[in-house]
């Protein structure tokens, strides 16, 4: 796949070729063809929806003020199925890479800087379908299972080994890593990771990764409404005044009426 994807303009068609096929991307539609020219996938979008296409992965950008105001679609972002529940979700920005250098100084300075730089957008009602609920349950059970297996193994295995067994240390280390991995997997069962969104560094945009095409179509309406709602107010042109007419005659001086002596 060719590296990078330039921004399309209205009426322009971008063609990206690789070994597997050809991807034609326009502002209004895109299609995927195989080597024989057969259309394997075609998707038409209404004007105003410009998701970024990377292979088969689509990222949809939504204005952060609209998301915080409760703008949402009727389908979930991941599966494109009708929403079975609405949940509060907090989208966060990624920690800058340079901030991880602060770990060398200490965990506390890193945590303080990371929290200060993090941008957050709170969505009061984000749609999730039934498959999203199943995915949450599956991730949670896998994470808890890894932690439970590590705890049981850390108790049973050392009891079966001799006191001078050199493999006891590496085995305990493996169980510790299993606990960390289990907690990491269980953390992805939260609604935020299921929504698969993050905030831009400036805090103005919410990027939804791996978005379904039906979600992208409905997100186009949110984008269009946000453009109209947050469009800057047009500035009025300064009022023009006609120049003062000049004449050759001298302008008479302005004299105030002379007041009586008693009123002075």
pLDDT at 53: 42
Separation CA 245–CA 23 (nearest Å): 68
Q: Is the sign of the CA dihedral 160, 163, 168, 169 positive or negative?
A: positive
| 58, 51 Cβ separation under 8 angstroms | yes
| 42, 29 Cβ separation under 8 angstroms | yes
Separation CA 188–CA 191 (nearest Å): 8
Number of H helices, E strands in the chain: 6, 10
Separation CA 48–CA 29 (nearest Å): 11
| 87, 191 Cβ separation under 8 angstroms | yes
The whole-number mean pLDDT for each consecutive block of 10 residues of the chain, a chain of 264 residues, reads 44 46 43 47 39 56 91 90 93 91 89 91 94 95 95 85 78 90 93 91 91 90 77 55 58 56 53
| 82, 129 Cβ separation under 8 angstroms | yes
| 199, 136 Cβ separation under 8 angstroms | no
Q: Chain-centre distance of CA 64, in angstroms?
A: 8
In the chain, domain spans = 10-44, 52-229
Alpha helices in 11-129 (DSSP H): 64-68, 107-117
pLDDT at 51: 41
Exposed/middle/buried for residue 149 (C-beta within 10 Å: 0-12, 13-18, 19+):
middle
Q: Where are the beta strands (DSSP E) in 129-262?
A: 197-199, 205-208
Kindly give the interhelix angle for 168-187 and 130-160, rounded to the nearest 10 degrees: 170
Q: Is the sign of the CA dihedral 128, 133, 138, 141 positive or negative?
A: positive
For residue 230, give both structure tokens.
């947050």
Query: Which residues, other chains included, contact 122 with Cβ-Cβ below 8 Å and sequence gap of 6+?
Result: 68, 88, 89, 90, 91
Exposure string of 59-77, with b = 16+ CB inside 10 Å and e = fewer, is bbbbbbebbeeebbbebbb
| Closest by Cα among 94, 102, 91 to 126 | 91
């Amino acid at each position: 796949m060719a590296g990078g994807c330039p921004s399309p303009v209205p009426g322009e068609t971008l063609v990206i070729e690789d070994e597997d096929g050809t991807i034609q991307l326009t502002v209004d539609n895109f299609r995927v063809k195989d080597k024989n020219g057969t259309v394997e996938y075609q998707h038409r979008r209404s004007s105003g929806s410009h998701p970024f296409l990377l292979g088969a992965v689509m990222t949809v950008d939504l204005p952060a003020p609209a998301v915080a105001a409760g703008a949402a679609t009727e389908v979930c972002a991941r599966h494109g199925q009708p929403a079975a529940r609405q949940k509060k979700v907090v989208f966060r920005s990624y920690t800058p890479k340079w901030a991880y250098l602060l770990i060398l100084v200490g965990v506390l300075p890193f945590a303080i800087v990371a929290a200060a730089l993090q941008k957050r957008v709170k969505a009061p009602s984000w749609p999730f379908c039934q498959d999203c609920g199943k995915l949450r349950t599956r991730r949670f059970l896998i994470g808890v299972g890894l932690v439970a297996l590590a705890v049981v193994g850390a108790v049973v295995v050392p009891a079966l080994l001799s006191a001078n067994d050199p493999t006891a240390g590496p085995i305990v280390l493996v169980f510790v890593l299993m606990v960390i991995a289990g907690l990491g997997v269980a953390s992805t069962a939260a609604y935020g990771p299921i929504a698969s969104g993050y905030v831009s560094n400036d805090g103005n945009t919410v990027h939804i990764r791996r978005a379904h095409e039906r979600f992208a179509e409905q997100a186009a309406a949110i984008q269009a409404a946000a453009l109209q709602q947050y469009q800057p107010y047009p500035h009025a042109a300064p009022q023009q005044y006609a120049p003062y007419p000049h004449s050759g005659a001298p302008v008479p001086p302005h004299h105030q009426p002379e007041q009586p002596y008693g009123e002075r």
